[in-house]
Amino acid sequence: MISPKKYAKAAKIPPKGFKTSNDFFNYVFKDKEMIWMGQNTNHLHQDNKINDAMIDCVESREYCKYPPPEGFPELKDLVLNDLGLQDDFEILITAGGTESLYLCINNILEPENNMITCDPGYLIIDNFASRFAGKVISVPIYNKECNYKLTPELVRENMDENTKLISLIDPLNPLGSSYTKHEIQEFAKIAQEKDIYLLHDITYRDFSREHYLVAKYAPEHTITIYSFSKIFGMAGLRIGGIIATPDMLNSVRSILINDLGTNVISQVGAIAALKSKHQWINDIKKQTRKNQDIIKKAVDQIEGVFLPVYPSDGNMIAIDLKETGIDPQVMANYLCDKKIFIRQGSYTSKLFGDRYIRISFSVPEYQVKIFAEKFVEACDSLRPL
């Protein structure tokens, strides 16, 4: 028998009635009536050039060939132009932001190092870091004092001589908190002073009101993680990228696994998405903000419920249930039975998972209105007497 690795993730506990977590996700995926508000995916794209480009690629059977191993040059240029990082930067196209995170964490960390993350956050980063670093320092940030985010002050308080990498999810999944220009400049200063690295995950950047790239202030100390899963609505196509200076990317190249390139159809869709972005992004941002307001109005009706961060700069938001006495997992199960898929707090927090649920709102407005109605009903029904 092969023993589990020391860093293996704890087995996911499937919802009641499902043998495995995979069975549950297959169920919600196949249910065409399910309102998909559990994975921060974007369902607001209408028929556009993204679909057409991928269909043309399929019909031409271009997928029979391997693509360039680091991505089509046209796509690479488009991403760098999108970020305004053309000079002195390079990009590797990957099979999604998660692969990008794994490669960068693997590349930078050694057993004598530690990495700073935050809780709540994207827990897979902690898992990856635990495979390569001696210690993962997960800083609690679920409080008003730090505005529900990992601040430069908290980083300075928690780092030591072994700190090598800081994870900065911006905007932050699951809370939607984001950073000011001054805060980003302070992170850059820390990285330069201590000669360490910042892992800047900008997956939700395009939903934010304002956003600043650490790479523009500390280019030699920043690795930027790019994803097509969210604003571009391409989560199931698994495509993303790593942006850094040539020296840093050269070290990542030494550990690449997928040296035959990223999905051809996904790359063609990504090219079309970037070329057409100016045509649809404002409509999507407008709708997500309207949807968020609908959720806020529903939450304001319920005693003991509040939004830790509002407005969210992502396409997701956390709803705190602690004062109601309602278990977030029970709430998630209840809403799933009503054909609404959300996530309980334990999916994104080890310390505060009993406090909140996380919902994404880049879905059609009528679905958000259904959620708002059912959520109010759920609070009335599930609140302990």
Q: What is the pLDDT of residues 60-106, one digit of tens each?
A: 999 999 999 999 999 999 999 999 998 899 999 999 999 999 999 99
- Read off the pLDDT of each residue in 28-33 and give the average, rounded to a whole number: 96
- Read off the pLDDT of each residue in 275-283 and give the average, rounded to a whole number: 96
Q: Tell me how long the chain is.
A: 385
Instruction: Please list the alpha-helical segments (H only) found in 244-364.
Output: 246-253, 264-299, 328-337
- Report the topology of domain 49-276: Aspartate Aminotransferase; domain 2 (3.40.640)
* Mean pLDDT value across the chain: 96
- Give the lowest-confidence range in 1-10, 25-34, 252-261: 1-10
Task: Compute φ and ψ for 198, nearest 5 degrees.
Answer: -110, 130
61 Cβ contact list (under 8 Å, min separation 6): none
Please give the structure tokens belonging to residue 24. Answer: 């549950």
Given this model, what pLDDT does residue 87 score? 87
pLDDT over 70 for what percent of the chain?
Answer: 98
- What are the angstrom distances between the C-alpha of 36 and each of 338, 355, 365, 382? 12, 22, 12, 22
pLDDT digits (tens, 9 = 90+) for 298-344: 999 999 999 999 999 999 999 999 999 999 999 999 999 999 999 99
In this predicted structure, the answer to whether residue 12 has a pLDDT above a threshold of 70 is no
Reported as a pLDDT band with limits 50, 70 and 90, residue 385 is confident
* 328 upstream amide cis, omega within 30 of 0: no
Neighbours of 294 (CB within 10 A): 15
Question: Is CATH 3.90.1150.10 the right assignment for the domain spanning 21-46+278-382?
Answer: yes
Please give the structure tokens belonging to residue 131. Answer: 């495979």
Given this model, what pLDDT does residue 86 score? 86
- Read off the pLDDT of each residue in 178-204 and give the average, rounded to a whole number: 98
- Read off the pLDDT of each residue in 44-52 and give the average, rounded to a whole number: 90
Reported as a pLDDT band with limits 50, 70 and 90, residue 11 is low
Given this model, what pLDDT does residue 3 score? 72
The pairing of beta strand 197-201 with beta strand 222-227? parallel
186 Cβ contact list (under 8 Å, min separation 6): 152
In this predicted structure, the answer to whether residue 108 has a pLDDT above a threshold of 70 is yes
Given this model, what pLDDT does residue 4 score? 72
Q: Which of 115, 153, 154, 156 is nearest to 134 (CA)?
A: 115
Q: Which of 284, 209, 260 is nearest to 93 (CA)?
A: 260
> Are 351 and 315 in contact, with CB atoms under 8 Å apart?
no
Better pLDDT: 87 or 140: 140
Give the start-to-end residue ranges of the domains of the chain: 21-46+278-382, 49-276
In this predicted structure, the answer to whether residue 265 has a pLDDT above a threshold of 90 is yes
Given this model, what pLDDT does residue 16 score? 73
Strand partners for 359:
317
Neighbours of 161 (CB within 10 A): 6
In this predicted structure, the answer to whether residue 5 has a pLDDT above a threshold of 90 is no
Fold match between domain 21-46+278-382 and domain 49-276 = no
DSSP string, 70-101: T--HHHHHHHHHHHT--TT-EEEEESSHHHHH
In this predicted structure, the answer to whether residue 291 has a pLDDT above a threshold of 70 is yes
